[in-house]
Amino acid sequence: MRSTAEARRVTVLNAAVSAFARTGFHATPVTAVAAAAGISEAYVFRLFSGKLGLFVAAAGACFERIATAIEAGAERATGGSPEEVLDAMGGAYAELIADRDLLLFQVQAQAVTDIPEIAEAVRAGYRRVATFVQDRAGASDAQVQQFFAYGQLCHLIVTAGLEQVPEPWARALTAGIRHP
Amino acid sequence: MRSTAEARRVTVLNAAVSAFARTGFHATPVTAVAAAAGISEAYVFRLFSGKLGLFVAAAGACFERIATAIEAGAERATGGSPEEVLDAMGGAYAELIADRDLLLFQVQAQAVTDIPEIAEAVRAGYRRVATFVQDRAGASDAQVQQFFAYGQLCHLIVTAGLEQVPEPWARALTAGIRHP
DNA sequence: TAAGTGTGTGAGTGCACACTTACAAACAAA
DNA sequence: TTTGTTTGTAAGTGTGCACTCACACACTTA
């Protein structure tokens, strides 16, 4: 026995998050995920129930990592006020998405929410993150809303590559955003 | 001669925006666009340079419509202050995306920005809208940034279907957003 | 009416990819 | 050693889709 199936699943999910993040659900062949994970395509199909099952599982892993990072960030808050905790969470998130995979995966997942299973996975992910932010920071509805609005703005900045655009409108949109 | 090529192109672009909005670039076959436009697939390929050319042209049409609506909204502003003009623009945008096609198309376009031609089309679209908002409203960088951040939040709300979710976290994210 | 031009399509072609099946090797338990 | 279980793959199969090409019809102009 070279490895347990459970260990393989973890490896495959890491590869899947990266691969789907770059080229999306429909344009990413399962062979690409398998190759990145170093195993055969056939075995990926045995470990997960089809390409859709793989994507949904990858979504779970993606939001799992985000939630964990934000929770850790909250622990490092210097004070206990909602503003301070939210700021610490934002900083932790900014660090996490430096490699872009987790951010781009969210964009890709949002784009295929016409598939009900994926829509549900996205809701579950945001439910987990949003409830934690609200409860842990003790923030108001408006503060939580603002937190996510500027998070979503990051998606636009990164996908459109606005950090590289020197024009005034792009500078306005990227101003003060912690390094993507 | 049943129709001019230029008139056909307009018809096809309307069909393309709707079709791509729902199922995205890779999952939308050109046959679906052709069927929606009421012409053959072969003729779509004559009118546009490949599927990519069609998508890029559709992106142009999408942002064109958004820009036009926002410009019209600005004209209806009750006062001249940046806040009032931004509010009028936001209202016009909210009306425009009631049918969801234009909003969903933006999400789909952002998801395929790994294709350089599409990334450039997205940048061109936001360049046009953002510069107009900034110039016409006379808004500060921070105000423009906020305007787009909450616009992007709408993308999440609609794709994840959060209006239908009665839980507190979802209510917090959707609070005060003009009817999507 | 003949030739030319623009509009339109039916019928392919070739390839990429989701998913399956038959089979083999490693390991465990009897 | 034999039997069973789990890990793993090579080699298909069928289908959907981007794109092409030969051809036809509508309309204009000389």
Residues 104-143 of A with CB under 8 A from B: 107-108, 110-114, 119, 122-123, 126-127, 130-131, 134, 141-142
DSSP, collapsed to helix, strand or coil, labels residue A86 as helix
Inform me whether the pLDDT recorded for A180 exceeds 90.
no
Q: Strand D-proximal residues, CB under 7 Å?
A: A 1-6, 8, 39-43, 46; B 1-2, 27-31, 41-42, 45, 50-52
% chain A with pLDDT above 70 = 98
pLDDT bin (cut points 50, 70, 90) of residue A3 is: confident
Q: A110: which residues sit within 8 A by CB, 6+ positions away?
A: A122, B107, B111, B155, B156, B159, B160
Cβ of A144 within 8 Å of Cβ of B170? The answer is no
Query: What pLDDT, on a 0 to 100 scale, did the predictor assign at position A80?
Result: 85
- Tell which residue, A162, A143, A153, has the closest CA to residue B148: A153
Inform me whether the pLDDT recorded for A130 exceeds 70.
yes
Cα–Cα distance measured from residue B13 to residue A120, given in angstroms and rounded to the nearest whole number: 31
Model confidence, pTM:
0.96
Cβ of A130 within 8 Å of Cβ of B170? The answer is yes
% chain A with pLDDT above 90 = 93
Dump pLDDT digits (tens) for B103-160. Answer: 999 999 999 999 999 999 999 999 999 999 999 999 999 999 999 999 999 999 999 9
Residues 42-101 of B with CB under 8 A from A: none
